[in-house]
């Protein structure tokens, strides 16, 4: 399971290292770390955000171990949409009902269109749409792209993909 965790560390050397040990002990795979050394929370602490992959059954043990080490766990939870991809649709995007195309992605329960921008050069000319899709994981991004490819064939739209693949 992928989750994010916000911690507050004391502003003294070694605190980040102290936070890493419980992650190792609980077999958490670190996806990213954002350490805001130049910022302070209202309590004078350094905010740190981890994005982790780990077994759901180890979350409570991890939080307990962090607290025992004197590290404040501000928030820990599963991030619903963690992956995103951007695509461009070219053709008669509006005439082929862009709302229906968006609904087909959004109705999956594992993916959604989070950004949409249209360009229309003329009434009878093909238009284009930049679409950013986010999903619960990499496999789900691929499923959403498969749906979009099928919709593209059905509606005679060119699907240009992916422009970028990133973690949200």
Give the pLDDT confidence score for residue 159 in this predicted structure: 95
161 and 87: one domain?
Answer: yes
Phi, psi of 160 (to 5 degrees): -100, 120
Alpha helices in the chain (DSSP H): 15-25, 59-68, 98-106, 138-155
Give the pLDDT confidence score for residue 81 in this predicted structure: 58
111 and 159: one domain?
Answer: yes
Domain containing residue 63: CATH number: 3.30.70.260
Residue 84 has, within 13 A of its CA and on its CB side, a CA count of: 16
Pairing assessment for the beta strands 29-35 and 158-160 based on DSSP bridges: unpaired
Distance (Å, whole) CA 112 – CA 149: 15
137 and 110: one domain?
Answer: yes
90 and 54: one domain?
Answer: no
Distance (Å, whole) CA 15 – CA 47: 11
Sheet containing 2-9: which strands, arranged edge to edge? Answer: 29-35, 46-53, 2-9, 72-78
Range of the domain at 60: 2-78
116 and 55: one domain?
Answer: no
Give the pLDDT confidence score for residue 165 in this predicted structure: 46
41 and 97: one domain?
Answer: no
106 backbone φψ class: left, alpha, beta (φ>0; ψ -120 to 50) = alpha
59 and 116: one domain?
Answer: no
Give the pLDDT confidence score for residue 168 in this predicted structure: 45
96 and 74: one domain?
Answer: no
Domain containing residue 153: CATH number: 3.30.70.2690
Distance (Å, whole) CA 116 – CA 88: 10
What is the tally of structural domains in the chain? 2
Residue ending a domain, choose from 78, 93, 108: 78
101 and 145: one domain?
Answer: yes
**Are 47 and 111 contacting, i.e. CB atoms less than 8 angstroms apart?**
no
* Per-residue pLDDT tens listing for the chain (168 residues): 778 888 999 989 999 999 999 999 999 999 888 887 777 887 888 888 888 888 888 989 999 999 999 899 988 876 655 688 999 999 999 889 999 999 999 888 788 898 999 999 888 899 999 999 988 788 889 999 999 999 999 999 999 987 654 444
Residue whose structure tokens are 């929370």: 41
Give the pLDDT confidence score for residue 164 in this predicted structure: 54
pTM: 0.53
73 and 95: one domain?
Answer: no
């Amino acid at each position: 399971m992928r989750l994010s965790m916000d911690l507050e560390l004391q502003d003294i050397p070694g605190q980040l290292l102290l936070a890493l040990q419980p992650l190792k002990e609980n077999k958490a795979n670190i996806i990213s770390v954002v350490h805001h050394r130049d910022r302070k929370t209202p309590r004078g602490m350094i905010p740190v955000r981890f994005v982790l992959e780990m077994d759901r059954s180890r979350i409570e043990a991890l939080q307990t171990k962090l607290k025992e080490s004197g590290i404040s766990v501000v928030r820990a939870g599963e991030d619903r949409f963690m992956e995103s991809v951007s695509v461009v649709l070219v053709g008669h995007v509006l005439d082929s009902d862009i709302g229906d195309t968006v609904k087909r992605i959004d109705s999956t329960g594992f993916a959604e269109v989070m950004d949409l921008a249209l360009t229309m050069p003329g009434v009878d000319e093909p238009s284009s749409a930049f679409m950013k899709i986010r999903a619960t994981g990499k496999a789900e991004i691929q499923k959403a792209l498969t749906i979009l490819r099928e919709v593209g064939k059905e509606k005679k739209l060119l699907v240009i993909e992916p422009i970028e693949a990133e973690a949200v």
